[in-house]
C-alpha cells in the first residue's frame, strides 16, 4: 500500500514578525494549531511536525494534539541553517517507511485537509515524481515528492526549499488546481497578519 507522510515545517525564528508566528491567534486557536489540525485530519499516513525556535513553548500550546497517533514531533536544532535543514530532519524520519512525502508550511492559514487530499489523489494518479498545488497561474504549496527524489531532497542546503528540483524536473511535475479558490498567502510580517483579519 502506498504511504504518504507529511512534513509540517514550523521551526523558523519568525524574524520579520518579531514574535513566534506559530502562536499567533487565529480562529479561536493558533496559526500552527490550525494548520496542524487540518493536516492531521487529512489522508496523510503520518505527520512529522518540525519545530525549532521556541519549540518548548509551542509544544505547551499545542497540548493534547501531541498525543495524536499520526503525529511525531521532531526538533531541528539547526533551524538557523534555513528551511532545507528542516526538510532533511523530517525526511530522515520517514524515508525508509513512506513512499512519498508532502511538504507543508506552518504559516499558511488556508491549507485545509481537502486541499491536501486533492493533491495526494491527483499526484498519485499522475505517476509523476513531483507534485504541487497550482494557484493564480503559478506553482504553490503544499508540494509532494516520490521516494525517487529523497536523495536530492537530502542534499538541499540553505534557506531554500525544493524550488530547484521543480526547475530541474519541470517536465515531470504534476500541478494540481484546487476545485475552489485557494488563497496561498503565508504570514511573514505583522502586515500579513493584519490582512488575515480583513
Note the pLDDT tens digit of each residue in 111-162: 999 999 999 999 999 999 999 999 988 999 999 999 999 999 999 998 777 8
DSSP letters spanning the chain:
---EEEEEEE----TTTSS-GGG-EETTEEHHHHHHHHHHHSS-SEEEEEEBTBHHHHHHHHGGGGG-TTEEEEE-TTGGG-HHHHHHHHHHHHTTT-SEEEEEETT-TT--HHHHHHHHHHHHHHT-SEEEEEETTEEEEEEEEEGGGHHHHTT--SS--SHHHHHHTGGGEEEE--SS--------SHHHHHHHT-
Q: Which three cell numbers stand for residue 45?
A: 499516513
Give pLDDT tens digits for 78-111.
999 989 999 999 999 999 999 999 999 999 999 9
Give pLDDT tens digits for 7-52.
999 998 887 788 889 999 998 899 999 999 999 999 999 999 999 9
What is the reported pLDDT for 198?
Answer: 53
Whether the model clears a pTM of 0.75, i.e. scores above it, the answer is yes
For the chain, give the mean pLDDT: 93
CATH-assigned architecture of domain 4-196: Alpha-Beta Complex (3.90)
Residue 74 in this model has a pLDDT that exceeds 80:
yes
d(CA 7, CA 5): 7
Positive or negative torsion for Cα 135, 136, 139, 140:
negative
Extents of the domains making up the chain: 4-196
Residue 197 in this model has a pLDDT that exceeds 70:
no
Amino acid at each position: 500500500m502506498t504511504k504518504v507522510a507529511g512534513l509540517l515545517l514550523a521551526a523558523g525564528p519568525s524574524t520579520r514578525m518579531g514574535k513566534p508566528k506559530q502562536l499567533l491567534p487565529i480562529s479561536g486557536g493558533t496559526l500552527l494549531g490550525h494548520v496542524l489540525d487540518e493536516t492531521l485530519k487529512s489522508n496523510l499516513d503520518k505527520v512529522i511536525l518540525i519545530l525549532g525556535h521556541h519549540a518548548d513553548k509551542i509544544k505547551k500550546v499545542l497540548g493534547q494534539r501531541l498525543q495524536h497517533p499520526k503525529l511525531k514531533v521532531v526538533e531541528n536544532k539547526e533551524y538557523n541553517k534555513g528551511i532545507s535543514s528542516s526538510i532533511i530532519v523530517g525526511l530522515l524520519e520517514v524515508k525508509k517507511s513512506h513512499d512519498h512525502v508532502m511538504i507543508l508550511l506552518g504559516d499558511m492559514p488556508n491549507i485545509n485537509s481537502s486541499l491536501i487530499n486533492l493533491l495526494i489523489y491527483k499526484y498519485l494518479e499522475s505517476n509523476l515524481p513531483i507534485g504541487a498545488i497550482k494557484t493564480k497561474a503559478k506553482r504553490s504549496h503544499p508540494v509532494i515528492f516520490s521516494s525517487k527524489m529523497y536523495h536530492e531532497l537530502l542534499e538541499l542546503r540553505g534557506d531554500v526549499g525544493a524550488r530547484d528540483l521543480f526547475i530541474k524536473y519541470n517536465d515531470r511535475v504534476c500541478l494540481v488546481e484546487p476545485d475552489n479558490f485557494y488563497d496561498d498567502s503565508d504570514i511573514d510580517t505583522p502586515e500579513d497578519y493584519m490582512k488575515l483579519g480583513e
